[in-house]
Amino acid sequence: MNTSLLHIEIQDFISKNINSNTSELLLKGMPFDIVDSKLIIEQIEAKKRCQKKLPTWYNTEQIYYPNRLNIEQTSSEQTAKFKADLVSGKSVIDLTGGFGVDAYYFSKQVNQVTHCEINSQLSELVKHNANALNISNITFINGNGIEALKRIDEPFDWIYVDPSRRDDSKQKVFLLSDCEPNIKTHHDLFLKYAENVMIKTSPLLDITATLLDIANVKEIYVVAVNNEVKELLWILERNFEGDVNIKTVNLQKSNTQRFNFKFNDEPEASVTFSEPLTYLYEPNAAVLKSGSFNSVSSLLKISKLHKHSHLYTSENLIDFPGRRFKIEKIISFNKKAFSKERIVKANVTTRNFPLSVNAIRKKLKVKDGGNNYLFFTTSHNDSKIIIICSKVV
């Protein structure tokens, strides 16, 4: 950690050039002799990446930023806030602390947080940033989180772990057995020292397969931000052996969409099928990732268009964890029928349909955008149809 980067004139330069072309800046050279120009460029690029993802850090003076990879791997403020709302009690230990965003929000929820980070430089700068952010209830340990847990040898209300999803050659991995620390290896150790454990994993992880590998899972949160799944949160509770609750969350600017179901109920959940009725529903990304295709129909009492289409319909408008549409017209999929509608611009979606969006646009000569929404899908009697819709806000 080069503290010269925190000099006022250098910090001002970083802020004033946040939107500058960094390659051009590097070619021009920096007006400072006390620090390497490349380090200033790294700070500019890292801070820029925090503008939307970590606005609290971006808007706080004297923040020292890590390399770009650490910024990419850290939780966003939206997801960190969400995780913090799930914990309670007096103490949390974060075994894989990283840039400290999760620890920062945990510190607002409990009395004491322990932040473990094996990278000494990262641990040092996170400690510095905590002071800049006026946070005083985080203890920083530079070292392996598993070894720190054993050495402390005291109970915590919660253990939080975000296993590294990079292998020795820095390539991305997502299977639990390939991540570090290995959750299966240390499962019993976690539950020895905490009643509750929260594990953050890649959204690519297969839920069904992973449940065969991890015991004592009480809840799984599928967390999306603006309809993009960002992470899976596995909540373990000591001695828990009941049904696993799957909780889907889509965090948006104006509201949060939620849908919950029991994992073991999904295969046998009652599904009704129907032709498109008055309203059409498209599940958000968190619901789709959760695999709750039968439960959506059963619990919300709406019909599905086809077993593999994952589109739903009803006569009356309901609250729904996804997008809602008013069906204006239904036509068969053929060029002649579509040309009669005189639609030259529309938002196109395919579900259980043999052609891609690009192929459809080319075939029907439809430009992107406008207020028309076209769903190309398969009905429950296996007919290929086009559903013409308007969006319901």
**CATH code for the domain in which residue 358 is found:** 3.30.2130
- Same domain for 90 and 55: no
How many separate domains does the chain show? 3
Average pLDDT over the chain, rounded to whole? Answer: 93
Q: Are residues 212 and 290 in the same domain?
A: no
Same domain, residue pair 37 and 98:
no
For residue 298, being part of any structural domain is answered with yes
> pTM of this prediction?
0.92
Residues 150 and 193 in one domain: yes
Residues 86, 60 within the same domain: no
Residue 289 and residue 387 share a domain: yes
The residues facing 224 across adjacent strands are: 229, 250
- Per-residue pLDDT reduced to its tens digit, 310-346: 999 999 999 999 999 999 999 999 999 999 999 999 9
pLDDT beneath 70, residues of the chain? 165-174
Boundary-marking domain end, from 207, 242, 277:
242
Residues 156 and 79 in one domain: yes
Give the model confidence (pLDDT) of 216-265 as tens digits: 999 999 999 999 999 999 999 999 999 999 999 999 988 999 999 999 99
Tell me the residue range of the domain where 290 lies. Answer: 267-392
Same domain, 32 and 149: no
Q: Are 82 and 101 in a shared domain?
A: yes
CATH number, position 111: 3.40.50.150
Return the CA Rg of the chain.
Answer: 25
- pLDDT score at 37: 87
What sign for the dihedral angle of Cα 9, 10, 12, 16? positive
Q: Is residue 91 located within the same domain as residue 162?
A: yes
